[in-house]
Amino acid sequence: MGELDGQVALVTGSSRGIGAAIARLFARHGAAVAVHGRDEAAVKAVTLDIENEGGRALAVVGDLTEPAQIADIRTQVERAFGPTSIVVANAGGSPVPPGPLEELSEVDWRRSIDVNLTATFLTVKEFLPGMKRRGGGCIITMSSAASRRPTAQSPGAYAAAKAGIETLTKALALQAGPAGVRVNCLAPETILTERNQQLIPEDVKERLSRTHPLQRLGTPEDVAEAALYLASERSAWVSGITIDVAGGAVLV
């Protein structure tokens, strides 16, 4: 018996990196998983990986800043697997490089807010009413160490968006708790995703590792294990919190 047997999960932004690791782990633990992204080929590749391992997966593609596309995703998941009981609002990223705030354009500010905070809001808005009607569900949002411990290198708009997600998580936990819906947040630090493996030079990886009490950088699987805890019955009385998946580097 898997910890998520009988559950239907949507993991947004799961065509690669942290989201893909969460989708794969949830499927291994019995959930039927909707794999989401904007790159159809990448989404299908993760879906096929899950199916080849004996899991159940559905590929869904859509822009999470467009409410109609999110509604279509919900319909597809319900037709394939039934009502969604777990939503991991993982999609996001930093579309703008770090730099002085006064040099940030309004367009880039809005891009950063939209792909992180707005996308999370719209995703939850679409799936929360059904969870409330059914009397239960689990929502996991995704913040970042950039909002927990801002540095001079942190992209300001990205950090602000992620901080907004943490506050939104608390507000949702208060509002949805009486209906049996739990809402929690994860805040990873530097994670060795496929992209970071390629972009970060080895000497920089070594230097960054030494800034963490656990003396290594995180992996997508580290974050996936934390997500599994929040999605499972092991955290049945946990709601409204942010877990730092940071190797001890964020101490608050």
- What percent of the chain stands above pLDDT 70? 98
pLDDT tens per residue, range 141-199: 999 998 988 776 678 899 999 999 999 999 999 999 999 999 999 999 988 888 888 88
Number of folded domains in the chain? 1
Q: List the one residue out of 186, 139, 144, 147 whose CA is nearest residue 163.
A: 147
Domain-located, residue 251: no
One-letter amino acid at 150 equals P
CB proximity list for 108: less than 8 A, separation 6 or greater? 95, 96, 157
Predicted local distance difference test score (pLDDT) of residue 178: 98
Residue 70 lies in a domain: yes
**pLDDT of res. 152:** 67
Q: Is 229 a catalytic residue?
A: no
Q: What are the tokens at 191?
A: 């994670």
Q: What pTM, to 2 d.p., does this model score?
A: 0.95
Which pLDDT score, from 0 to 100, does residue 81 have? 98
Q: Are 143 and 163 in contact (CB under 8 A)?
A: yes
Residue 13 backbone phi and psi in degrees, to 5: 60, 45
What is the phi/psi pair of residue 161, to 5°?
-65, -45
Range of the domain at 71: 8-244
Among residues 64, 158, 192, 217, the one annotated as catalytic is: 158
Q: Is residue 155 part of a domain?
A: yes
Identify any residues that bridge with 191 across adjacent strands, giving them in sequence order. Answer: 218
Residue 240 has pLDDT above 90, yes or no: yes
pLDDT interval class at 1 (50, 70, 90): low
Work out the angle between the directed axes of helices 17-28 and 220-231 (0-180°, nearest 10).
50
Residue reference for tokens 């942290």: 18
pLDDT digits (tens, 9 = 90+) for 199-213: 888 888 898 888 888
pLDDT, tens digit (0-9, with 9 covering 90-100), for 145-157: 989 887 766 788 9
Q: What is the mean pLDDT of residues 217-231?
A: 97
The CATH number covering residue 48 comes to 3.40.50.720
Q: Looking at the domain assignment, is residue 98 inside a domain?
A: yes
- Return d(Cα 169, Cα 99) in angstroms, integer: 28
